[in-house]
Each structure stands twice: as C-alpha cells, then as structure tokens.
Amino acid sequence: MKIETRYNYEKSWTLTPEKDIVKIIEVEIGNDDVQGVLGYIKEAIKDGKEISVATCKFRRKKD
C-alpha cells in the first residue's frame, strides 16, 4: 500500500516510504507504540479515508 502524507501547514500530499512514516509517527507521538499506530493508520486508510495523527495527515495513494 502506498501512503501519502501532509502536514497541516502543507498544501500538497507527498508519497512517503514506510520508514519515513515510522519516523513521522515517532516525532508526532513519541516512541510509545509506533508499529501499533502504523497498523491503525493502514487499517483506517485502506477504504479511502484520511486520518490525522497530531499535525500530520495520512491517506492511501489513489491509483
């Protein structure tokens, strides 16, 4: 699954590799349960929804 990210202050979405998404999550929420949050994001966006984690939004890349 390809995931795009966008911070609240940005206007465009960016295709983001999973390793960078993990870093974003660590910065946004700390080291609590990064893999759990990543799994939650993947589950939530698989049907085309957007999800916010702190100041960053995530969505599935449209084909």
Question: What pTM was computed for the model?
Answer: 0.90
Strand 56-60: give its sheet, edge to edge. Answer: 14-16, 3-7, 56-60, 51-53
Domain positions in the chain: 3-60
Residue 23, pLDDT above cutoff 80: yes
Which residue is associated with the tokens 């979405």? Answer: 13
Instruction: Report pLDDT digits (tens) over 26-40.
Output: 999 988 899 999 999
For residue 13, the model assigns a pLDDT of 96
What single letter denotes the amino acid at residue 12? Answer: S
